[in-house]
Structure 1
């Protein structure tokens, strides 16, 4: 599937058939004939096993399976067989006589496989007639039969599978021996007294009916050597037992030895289980693990996207990306579902809240029962329910708080807070993408700092009543960057602030402590955040990818797309959405050297002081305090227009 994708053209395929076999009925003396079997094994599509000119074809019909022109396809293969006979190529490569067809359609969502085999057998005009089939033991002695078995084994080992299905048996004064079809003229010319028997590996197990390969073999010997009467060995053996006693002997004759000049008609379409001409069905769904079915179904939808629309889509990279969701509320639930849609297999939740009665209608990973008895932990419950949606996801949840600036740490909570910080650092280090999906501004500060410190992809989403912002953070000043490729480091969520984040929760009333938004806004923002992540994963510069140039710069859309380097199109820095106007704005902002979250002084101080740094005054460390003092001391010289109006408008 991953090689052929949606290609429905004919493909070469190698098959092997076994010789006819019979089985004894338990408790009875009689035996039954087993159907002929064709095996398409794991090497069926291997290039190493393919002949230079294909002897077999495979057609994946797709949605057009029923409408596919089977007659024309069958006729084309029949003509190939006939051309190989006329040219003599089949004499030197007799496997070409055994071309077959397989038309297949796979319903990969339901795991139903429709397939139809055809084994073209040429119909001679006039038709060959055959005598009654005799057991091999009525023609040759046991010693001769054992010698013949040894000779055929040696022949197969010497000449390989391309020759082993068809051969000549020479019977002369020196006994039985085996030769290639191409040796026929040499044998006849060297010793006219030799009895020649035409041999072939017979897939039939019936007592009075040889298998279909004999038709094409007789057409070959009649066309090239004008043979109209010949003895035929229908070679049958019991695998692994060195027993060929089931083989049969017959005589084939033609009433008129006239070579055909045009391609003869042929038959060969296989009947289905109901005995009618039609495809067979293999329904594998009941035999498969439902979890495995879900895996393949998810992957199939994404592969169809790549095959049909976007060949450069890096599904394996997306699938292996480890995502940490800080916040398991409305944004967290929608982000998780969108990540599942992209095939992400590793999703971790972090939240300290419990499921409340208002949550399930807005947060799709929770149910009413999760709210009872005070509510379950959001993070662990979201992880459990995500597995119910898709069992193949590796999802875990951690119920813990994120230390925030402006929220004092009491002596009693010092140790637990210290552990929470260490755990947060560990989780961010273990993941590739960090989503900031919390309720408050200050809760995003520490993850922003850690993301810049560890050079992680950080995607931030925040909601208003009918507005949202989705942005990807830069990684600070990023002094190790290649300036020619990334001229301006991108800013983080706090780079536009001139004050440090403080406690914004304690003074809120109860109605202000809930995020009040239009119901559809969170789904839009969450989807935009995930799509931004996927686009960023496809950019060659990764977290250092520059923002797309937009605005009134005269660029055509295709030029703007080419600038981003992402297979999925434009890659902005920030998306600011306005649901009241159904409009999005793409904004870019550079890193601020006095930022309280990603500036060099902050990162250096945290690197040096670790947890103790969290207890300090951020504005002093970042340099904002000094900047404010300098601003207040500036002597502003203002010029007033002599003709000012009375209201003193400044110009």
Structure 2
């Protein structure tokens, strides 16, 4: 244990710098949509840091997509930091929320963990953090701000000297420390705080913080922690709360202590620990009243040393089609959260819709279905786009009318894909045979009529919902019979000059979760057989 009357120098600590991978934001987006919804309550997350960074790199605290899991899955030789995340619903809430209150509440958790002994049993609690964020899921902009709370003692933290252990210890002591550290890590994975006891023969032993009372009786007692800092004279942020813990728990027997800032990285195939820092004669602050929360600091600063939030935009790194799909889904999920909790969006998106007619009704129904998240849409029509169509039919433009006009179903599908590339749209060029309309007497005309009937029937069989959106009553007759025969939902819509009509045909249906088909109820099958 270091003593002496040399002049003390103030300790300065290197704060954490947050590092979040893209996978973290994608997982946050998923959880916001599927789990958190509109809740602004604090949710569990976990980050980690390491003590094996190459000198010159920042003191990083990293968050990955796996940090949402309990228990978290972190890389080997990483030191977990338990945290909480608050996902706010608006940018206004993010800007105006009480930052001081959040800082003090997170600091209060650390202060309570120190005083009730929880931080002695689980030292990772000394590195608690809070992440405040607003996720703009339509644009994939994420505004965020970290707080890494550190408690202030009544007097500044000071030390007699700061040296590298390579300048103080011999090779035997360094090898012994390295061996003792490996043994401790093997027995206590993920624990980055410990006690170091050096014997007279230069042998090192590492112990848990809960063994401090026993270790205090030894002559060469040191506090130790795995130091994420890479600076030559400044220890990392976790040491601040460790020294407060020591003052609160052991100040009656300990007022000055040596501290080992253990750093461990590999360069050119060699493992190096000699750059670890030894803080000699650190003066512990006086024990503080447990009833009063000390001053707390910890909001993360930017590169210009200003306490301001950060923002990351992931839209440029995303596939535009995937981004569009996510945005469409977001609107529907917001609707479900607020208005229709029972809405089954997966069932909607997987429903196969057949639209017979690609005119005024067909274009508007197709747009509406896409807006509701329907991904599978087939349009059947046998006419072409005329100059009178674009002003009334929203999927066509003037260019679709040139050179005799494009095939309506094909032009509509092309337009749908331009609007939303994620739609699985198909075009079918076919007519619908109608009662009272002669198909002719020659074999070719009869064969075409049969082929058209087969085409329509096959489409009805392979789709879940059929929309009748044609111009005439006669053209609705055959599809209505086919939907009834194959137990499909049929939506009949028609427009007049001053009115409109929408009708649902077909049996009452039950949903089959295995094949996603609609089956008539048993009593209706019986009634149909009798008739």
CA distance in 1, matches of 2:228, 2:422: 44
- Aligned residue for 1:108? 137
1:59 aligns with 2:86: yes
Partner of 2:15: none
Mapped pair 1:389 → 2:419: yes
Distance across 2 between alignment mates of 1:257 and 1:465: 88
> What is the rounded CA distance, in whole Å, between the counterparts of 2:286 and 2:340 in structure 1?
60
**Which aligned pairs between 1:239-278 and structure 2 lie closer than 5 A?**
242-254=271-283, 257-261=286-290, 262-278=292-308
SS of equivalent to 1:65: helix
CA offsets per residue over residues 379-406 of structure 1, 9 Å max, x none?
Answer: 1110111011111101110111112222
Q: Find out whether 1:21 has 2:53 as its counterpart.
A: yes
Residue pair 2:487, 2:520 contacting (<8 A) in 1 also: no
Match of 2:461 in 1: 429
C-alpha distance after superposition, 1:284-343 (max 9, x if no partner) = 122222222211111111111112222211111111111010000000000000001101
Q: CA deviation at 1:416?
A: 2.2
Partner of 1:443, secondary structure, is helix
**CA offsets 1:82-129 (integer angstroms, 9 cap, x no match):** 111111121111111111111111111221111111111111112220
Pairing partner for 2:374 from 344, 352, 363: 344
Instruction: Name which of 112, 122, 125 aligns with 1:83.
Output: 112
Which of residues 399, 417, 422 in structure 2 aligns to 1:369? Answer: 399
Separation in structure 2 between the aligned mates of residue 420 and residue 252 of structure 1, nearest angstrom: 94
Question: How much does 1:144 deviate?
Answer: 2.8
Once the two structures are superposed, the pairs formed by residues 585-624 of structure 1 within 5 Å of their partners are none
Equivalent of residue 202 in structure 1, options 227, 235, 240: 227
Deviation of the 1:263 alpha carbon: 2.3
Distance 1:468 1:244, change over 3 A: same
Q: Deviations over 1:129-186 (max 9, x none)?
A: 023321121222233323322322332232232xx11011111146111110111112
Which of 196, 212, 217 is the matching residue for 2:242? 217
Give the drift of 1:255: 7.4
Q: Is the 8 A contact 1:325 1:437 kept in 2?
A: yes
- Cα RMSD (Å) of the superposition? 2.6
Match of 1:185 in 2: 213
Which of residues 60, 66, 78 is equivalent to 1:37?
A: 60
Structure 2 gap segments, 5+ residues each: 1-31, 74-80
The DSSP-based 3-state class of the residue aligned with 2:95 is coil
1:518 aligned partner = none
Question: Post-superposition shift, 1:259?
Answer: 4.2
Larger strand percent: 2
Higher relative contact order (CA 8 A, sep 6+): 2
Contact 2:148 2:299 in 1 (8 A): yes
1:416 partnered with 2:441: no
Secondary structure of 1:233's partner? strand
1:253 shift after superposition: 2.8
**Structure 1 runs, 4 residues or longer, greater than 4 Å off:** 255-261, 540-545, 599-602
CA distance in 1, matches of 2:304, 2:355: 55
Measure, in 1, the Cα distance between the counterparts of 2:429 and 2:303: 58
Q: Partner of 2:439: helix, strand, or coil?
A: coil
The higher radius of gyration belongs to: 1
Check whether the contact 2:247–2:284 (CA below 8 A) recurs between aligned residues.
no
Tell me the CA shift for residue 544 of structure 1. Answer: 6.0
Taking structure 2 as the reference length, the TM-score comes to 0.84
Contact 2:461 2:486 in 1 (8 A): yes
Task: Give TM-score, length-normalised by structure 1.
Answer: 0.69
Aligned to 2:158: 129
**1:541 Cα deviation after fit:** 12
